[in-house]
Chain A
Amino acid sequence: MSTSTAKIREITGHAVAVRGNDIDTDRIIPARYMKELTFDSLGQYSFYDQRFDASGKATGHPFNDSRFQGASILLVNKNFGCGSSREHAPQALMRWGIRVIVGESFAEIFAGNCNAIGVPTVTVDTGQIEQLMERVEADPGTLLHIDLESRTLQAGDSSLSFQLPDSQAKGLLSGTWDTTTILLDGLEQIQTTAANLPYVKDFPYDRSGGNPADSGRPARA
């Protein structure tokens, strides 16, 4: 069965800057808020421990700042989203309202997770992100326009080019960023590849231990 996903060509909106290198996914969403069976309610926990101090008092974090409420473009620095592979991190940001992230660089698992949910992660250089951040901090009303096809970002009257890997751009532009359907298209080839693997055909898993869930201990520790 096929599931089509929306084509994502351009995003227009206000931006919010969260400064700092190596912002890890534990900071984007603390693990204690991951005890959920769905992603639905995660938006409120974005950057939770940065936004509230130990007594629960709101800090000056940009996500608390009334001027940045409603922002759909997140500006970040280097290696954003490092650490844990939790998709809860991009899911939380998306449910807070973020549609695209512009940064100097991204941790790979995080960027892959963003791509899988249709949130582009585009990169610019250090000077460009600094300019964008300063501009948005000085004037939160600045409207940004991101065009994935031409890979240009317009901020007010200035324009710059950004990087986006070809594979990501193709998927987003053609609405095929949801990979399951595309992967399943290759079903026959999947089975052929599997059947030829030495550990599938020549020496498969030894299952003589019976149902592993209800019998004894492994041979050794």
Chain B
Amino acid sequence: MGENLLRKVWDLHKVRTLPSGQDQLYIGLHLIHEVTSPQAFAMLGERGLKVLHPERTFATVDHIVPTDDQNRPFKDELAERMIQALEENTAKHGIPFFGLDSGLQGIVHIIGPELGLSQPGMTIACGDSHTSTHGALGAIAFGIGTSQVRDVLATQTLAFSPLKVRRIEVSGTLRPGVSSKDIILKIIADLGVKGGLGYAYEYGGSAIEALSMDARLTICNMSIEGGARAGYINPDQVTFDYLKGRRFAPKGKDFDKAVEYWKQIASDPDADYDDRFQLDAELLEPMIAWGINPGQAVGVDQKLPLLKELKEDAREAAEMAYTHTRFRPGQPIKGQKIDVAFIGSCTNGRISDLREAARQVRGQKAAAHVKALVVPGSQAVADQAAAEGLPEIFREAGFQWRQAGCSMCLGMNPDILVGDQVCASSSNRNFIGRQGSPTGRTLLMSPAMVASAAVAGEVSDVREFAEGGGA
């Protein structure tokens, strides 16, 4: 019986077994940002410790940055204090910092892959749950808390209990208008938001192998929404082609050596798994998470569930969701009016996401009552989009084109919902209050679906949507 990628990477990075019985794992790449690092640096200071491997640590700023006016000092004094603290801490400890004037700044999970920092067969940690994103490159990537950020800063290692691996096989071919966001929303809906507890998810099968790296990153990004600590895809030619030529990726002969390692580290064809799950891509339709957790999702042609149709566990959450959203059980999700459309985030703020969305809105207009926002995930994505003329397409369609940041995914910067607005969002969480208003309502969907909802002013089926430019 062969081994899966997680076991191989684990063995290679295991420093020793700790007295607690946990394993001490070496972390190959540590990414830090302004929200979860200042307390960790303070704890280091209190103990007189230094950063053990500043050369394997990289910082950027994303959660709190305004996406409209980025002039310093920020209007929000607290946000300004947080970016200053990160500037000071990174300078003091010799950690490379991709700040707003670097041209390399962006959401931490966008820039890691984009700069070639995230590579197959690496362990990656960051004080943010969506670190699972980097697994798309064949890395084992964990979201961690601040005390663990302190651990990695001081020791470049973490204490971990072993994870089980569930192989998620997605067979067949996606139909037009259906995207990788719909695959992961369907997986979470089927397995539940607790389904992944104790597991890492390995995604594979013909539908996954056919995806671009951008689309793969979207899938691994939301592993944590299914309760899985990590999610990954075995490295293949798509991975190697993606990494070639990126800023920090190995070049020349080193690149060839790297590819050798990357091929070896992939799961063996006869690898052993703790569990398996199968999904047929042909049957998928565009998905919408309508409730208060990402597992409460339906296909665009479906109606919201009646309480009596649900299992007891799901019923309680659905009742809460209906109380919060004031949507009606049994109502079709298609036609639900929206107030805000948000395209961006570490889930769907990459160049291919923006291209997909632009294809939908070209030559169209966002509905008059909809506030529509496009926020590139990084400065590099913004540059590429500009080179392709995407900002003009969005602006002509009445969308606001913003600067890179986490924006409306979470309420830590000026981009927030107001009152009980309904937001069609390409982000990852529809938790109560997530988008900054305690009564706001979030509908999670693919960027193309958000774009078509913005134009229609209501949830619509991207498959029926007349494309502007080509029409």
Contact = CB atoms under 8 A, between A and B. Distances in A.
Interface stretch (A8-16, A131-139, A152-160, A175-183): A175-183
Contacts, number: 280
Interface string B152-193: 001111110100000000000000000000000000000001
B194 A26 contact: no
Interface residues of B, number: 110
B290 interface: no
Contact of B197 (A79, A84, A213): A79
B21 A24 contact: no
A31 B26 contact: no
Interface string B431-456: 11110101100000000000000000
Contact of A27 (B63, B161, B261, B431): B431
Interface string B37-69: 011001100011100110100100001100000
Interface in B114-165: 114-117, 119, 121-122, 127-129, 131, 143-148, 150-151, 154-159, 161
B28 interface: yes
B249 A170 contact: no
Contacts of B261: 198-199, 202-203
Interface stretch (A32-40, A68-76, A95-103, A141-149): A32-40
A197 B20 contact: no
Contacts of B313: 21, 78
A62 to B, nearest CB: 16
A150 interface: no
Contacts of A83: 129, 224-225, 429, 431
A82 B293 CA distance: 10
Contact of A85 (B55, B103, B129): B129
A203 B194 contact: no
Identify whether the interface residues of A are mostly helix, strand, loop, or mixed: loop
Interface residues of A, number: 81
B258 A199 contact: yes
A183 B16 CA distance: 10
B251 interface: yes
Given A20-B320, A21-B316, A27-B432, A193 B438 contact: no
B227 interface: yes
B304 interface: no
Interface in B285-321: 293, 313, 316-317, 320
Contacts of B293: 22, 24, 82
B151 A179 contact: yes
B64 to A, nearest CB: 6
A22 B102 contact: no
A180 B20 contact: no
Which of A27, A82, A219, A221 has most chain B Cβ within 10 Å? A221
A66 interface: no
B327 interface: no
A209 B133 CA distance: 25
The 9 closest A-B pairs by CB, nearest first: A221-B384, A113-B145, A87-B145, A116-B147, A203-B250, A85-B129, A35-B78, A49-B438, A203-B254
Interface of A: 1, 3, 20-22, 24, 26-27, 30-32, 34-39, 49, 53-54, 78-79, 82-88, 90-91, 105, 107-109, 112-113, 116-117, 165-168, 170-171, 174, 176, 178-180, 182-184, 186-187, 189-190, 193-194, 197-200, 202-209, 211-214, 216-221
Given A109-B144, A170-B19, A205-B250, 7 more contacts: A35-B79, A37-B85, A39-B39, A82-B227, A109-B145, A206-B254, A218-B116
24 contacts: A1-B49, A21-B316, A35-B412, A37-B81, A83-B431, A87-B127, A165-B161, A167-B18, A167-B22, A170-B19, A182-B159, A183-B155, A183-B157, A186-B15, A189-B24, A190-B155, A194-B26, A199-B121, A199-B122, A203-B257, A205-B117, A211-B96, A219-B245, A221-B380
Interface of B: 12-16, 18-22, 24, 26, 28, 35-36, 38-39, 42-43, 47-49, 52-53, 55, 58, 63-64, 76, 78-79, 81-82, 85, 96-99, 102-104, 114-117, 119, 121-122, 127-129, 131, 143-148, 150-151, 154-159, 161, 193-194, 197-198, 224-225, 227, 229, 245-251, 254-255, 257-258, 261, 293, 313, 316-317, 320, 351, 379-381, 383-384, 410-412, 419, 429, 431-434, 436, 438-439
